[in-house]
A and B are shown apart, each in its own frame.
Chain A
């Protein structure tokens, strides 16, 4: 007979991630986690270096310093608030883009999960970090935090609840904002599809009129009214604007 947890603490401990709800576990996630519905994996990297707090996204390309601990090596080196982390242990946090036509010189920030994978196992070590200062770049040795402690995420890195900060708001702007078709599992973007004479006909998931006689209308963004559901429609009236989709078809 296997080990069976009986009371609540035992049952919760079985979930391994104390302090976070079961939906924060990767095995129970239904889709991506960037930022996602279940947890926001980017928050893992916020405190990966002792003495600075990072934010992954941002209009200037991300990897921004949100806080510097007083007295830390980062402060002593003069790392300014809102500066960008450019390089860690000799590797840049951005890569050049390659388009269909071939490589370009344009720099594209990498997600920290990609860019910092090489230091994941270097907890407790010092690594050289390069920050963009107001003047010359700032180089400073920063300590890498351990990611795991006692078989679970280190609380120094992510306190209970940290992973569920900053999730998507599915019934608001994020519903139509998401660039990666996050909702595919529960919300197909092409609905009421029928194959007709070798062509597939159907409706856009954001299209307002979706009767048999309505043709497909390409979604043109959420601000203009009329043909497609707008941001405003979702804020004010999502209950009526959205229908359940069953087997790929609108249901009443």
Chain B
């Protein structure tokens, strides 16, 4: 759809009855033309003449001509994203690998069966409390922080989750900090008492499900090979009925074996999940189930199918919580622009069972991204180097891509472990979402009813761009809210 990056300054597209080129007979006359400017993620409707000139220059890769035309439209602006990386960033979100062990044997697991290739173990209470202390001491009074419980399977260490939640609430209250909690679980151990606890503490609960029935079972069996779907659904159902203060969402890891996304989305929404999101499997420690270029193209088509259903539902005024779409539309509406794909190594860290801090939960036990520990805090030098190195303007081919400030340069873990395999997929998805955005803005303007002035604080560059306010979403999403991440998180 939008294969090559073409030019780094922006992207043009048409929506409506007509194609990009239109024709002299007036076909395509009803199509509206749009310009997306990378600098500031600004979206403009433009006239046909402007569209055609820009489109030609972009196709020819003529960056100088594109700049001239942007100038002529009086749309040039100082750089919204500073090329100078920040040197430090306060910790605002932590995830605790409370149990580096798991009862499932998922084919592609980044934690290699839950233990990250190390002896399996639980996090101790001392380490978990020290992590909370770090989080609270780094968060200014009156602001927000987020604590996630991950694993392995975190509910293996249920007792610790209870103790840490209570401790964190107390500590947060002392400093008037609003603390959000979240957990990502395989759902096989969850029970109604857990549900009551999550409900009481407003948890964002994410259940990892890879589809319906056998589709799920093929990828996420128990270690003994038995399917896990039926047991998970039996255990999760009471929580779905219970959710008021908590939100129970489903997260689907997409591999070449479960590409029928629409079926999974509709099936899980019908069960009562608060929202359903997809992430492609791009990098597994064992290389299994990784998506190849063709698979990603198929996934993109599948995502678009879900996206169109989303638009239809909105037009009819019906809820349809396709998470990737909801989040992408909000970001495009706000004009989110960021130099990093997520908060990893900036305001967000993954804490291993031994209390070491890693750039995120996926890097746990990876010594190359060790960034301190819960006793001494973040290693300032390591963080400074990470922020300098990971800035999207320093990445190639990102610095030549129009989507770089929406995408942020793609998941650090995947880029480091497998290069950038998904750029066409991400651009294709963003192009689709941009088109959907202008359609929705036209057909269902109330969908974007937030006041621009109130949102202004969110878009003034780096500080807010990197870390969004924690809300009732998946734990990973709190520090990691870019569109690219939304569709790539595992």
Contact = CB atoms under 8 A, between A and B. Distances in A.
A149 B76 CA distance: 12
Interface string A164-186: 00000000000000000000000
Contacts of B460: 18-19, 160
Interface in A5-32: 5-13, 18-19, 21-22
A160 B456 CA distance: 12
Contact of A7 (B76, B77, B78, B332): B332
Contacts of A11: 452
A252 interface: no
Most buried by A among B334, B441, B452: B452
A3 to B, nearest CB: 6
Contact of B438 (A6, A13, A160): A6
A6 B44 CA distance: 5
B335 A8 contact: yes
B452 A12 contact: yes
A150 interface: yes
A212 interface: no
B203 interface: no
Nearest to A19: B460
Given A6-B438, A7-B334, A150-B78, A12 B456 contact: yes
Contact of B437 (A7, A9, A13): A7
A239 interface: no
B40 A1 contact: no
Contacts of A21: 453, 456
B45 A6 contact: yes
Nearest to B46: A3
Most buried by A among B47, B334, B337, B456: B456
Contacts of B43: 5-7, 9-10
B419 to A, nearest CB: 31
Interface string B456-470: 100110000000000
Nearest to B452: A8
Contacts of B52: none
**Residue among A6, A8, A11, A19 having the largest count of chain B Cβ atoms under 10 Å:** A8
A22 B452 CA distance: 11
What bracket does the count of chain B residues touching chain A fall in?
20 to 34
Centre residue among A4, A9, A18 by max chain B CB count within 10 A:
A9
Contacts of A152: 78
B50 interface: yes
B46 A7 contact: no
A117 to B, nearest CB: 26
The number of chain A residues touching the other chain, given as a range, is: 20 to 34
Interface in A141-172: 149-150, 152, 160
A1 B46 CA distance: 7
B171 interface: no
Interface in B129-167: none
Interface in B288-329: none
B34 interface: yes
Given A3-B50, A21-B453, A9 B41 contact: yes
A5 B437 CA distance: 13
A63 to B, nearest CB: 31
Contacts of A160: 460
Contacts of B362: none
B34 A6 contact: yes
Interface string B437-454: 110010000000000110
Nearest to B77: A13
B45 A9 contact: no
Contacts of A2: 47
Contacts of B73: 3
Contacts of A19: 460
A9 B44 contact: no
Given A6-B438, A8-B335, A13 B42 contact: yes
A222 B401 CA distance: 64
B456 A1 contact: no
A18 B459 CA distance: 10
A8 B50 contact: no
A29 to B, nearest CB: 17
B416 interface: no
B459 A5 contact: no
Contacts of A5: 42-44
Contacts of B75: 3, 13
B457 to A, nearest CB: 10
Interface in B24-83: 34, 37, 40-47, 50, 73, 75-78, 80
B333 A8 contact: yes
A9 B42 contact: yes
B455 interface: yes
A4 B44 contact: yes
A159 B452 CA distance: 21
- Interface centre among A3, A152, A160, by most chain B C-beta atoms within 10 angstroms, is A3
A22 B453 CA distance: 9
A152 B76 CA distance: 11
Interface in B328-347: 332-335, 337
B222 to A, nearest CB: 46
Contacts of B34: 6
Counting from the closest, the 10 A-B pairs by CB-CB distance are A9-B335, A10-B42, A7-B43, A4-B45, A6-B43, A9-B40, A8-B452, A1-B47, A9-B42, A7-B335
Given A5-B43, A6-B441, A9-B80, 17 more contacts: A3-B47, A3-B50, A3-B73, A3-B75, A6-B43, A6-B438, A7-B43, A7-B332, A7-B333, A9-B40, A9-B41, A9-B42, A10-B40, A10-B44, A12-B459, A13-B40, A18-B77
12 contacts: A1-B45, A3-B44, A6-B438, A7-B41, A7-B42, A9-B42, A9-B334, A12-B459, A13-B40, A18-B78, A19-B460, A150-B77
